[in-house]
Structure 1
């Protein structure tokens, strides 16, 4: 891990994330976008999926890491939809922090149709919650993922 990387600091606990890591393995972690100064609230369900290894982009992942990231994106998108999101946007921007982090951004009911995906977390009526409520929502998502309807494998069984 890098000594000067915000994502690495979120992985190692130097920067706290509301509710802690939703998932943390030797390959990846998933967590609520943290509360960073001067912001005092968060958009609930705005998640990051990140590899544990400090790499700048998808091309730098090995096949095992790439597969794990893909499964995590799917799993946590399902959890957000189970929690009521109408849509989950998936984006990788990578300009500000050179550690791959995939954004999962929910579009919650009541978001006006004219609000772009890039603004669903910032329009005046967007859901905003404090740290405690964000941690509670993270716990709800954990329960959704524990539910077998969110975790689906392709083992061929129906």
Structure 2
């Protein structure tokens, strides 16, 4: 197993450690809900200045709330609506500096000011999204994007 203490290295080294931790957590476990629950808990522990982290899973042409850490959230999001729905529809990640400036943003938590959404893609199909909100404008950057895409890729390799 692993032991999470303080993350005291560079952001890149800390992200590399978190990716190794999720690999260890999901190794040999096939249950999607259990793996996503641990993944959201791990990211909630690791990331600073966030107020929500979790997953939405594909059900037809909608995303349905999955395991998360944070306040209660929107249950269903149509593809193409808000940041999560846009990420699912376009199969691309979004880093949003100001959610209130994003057309069609869905406000589940009024405290959220910025957001990053990473699509979960397995065998070319969107199976869900990783969604992280922050109460700070411009909280997420290209370092977050790069390593959260790697984190999502590890999950997707296990969710096939």
TM-score range, shorter chain: 0.3 to 0.5
**Higher RCO by CA contacts (8 Å cutoff, separation 6 or greater):** 1
TM-score normalised to structure 2 length: 0.33
- TM-score, with normalisation over the residues of structure 1? 0.33
Structure number having the greater strand percentage? 2
User: Whose Rg is larger?
Assistant: 1
**Bigger proportion of residues as helix:** 2
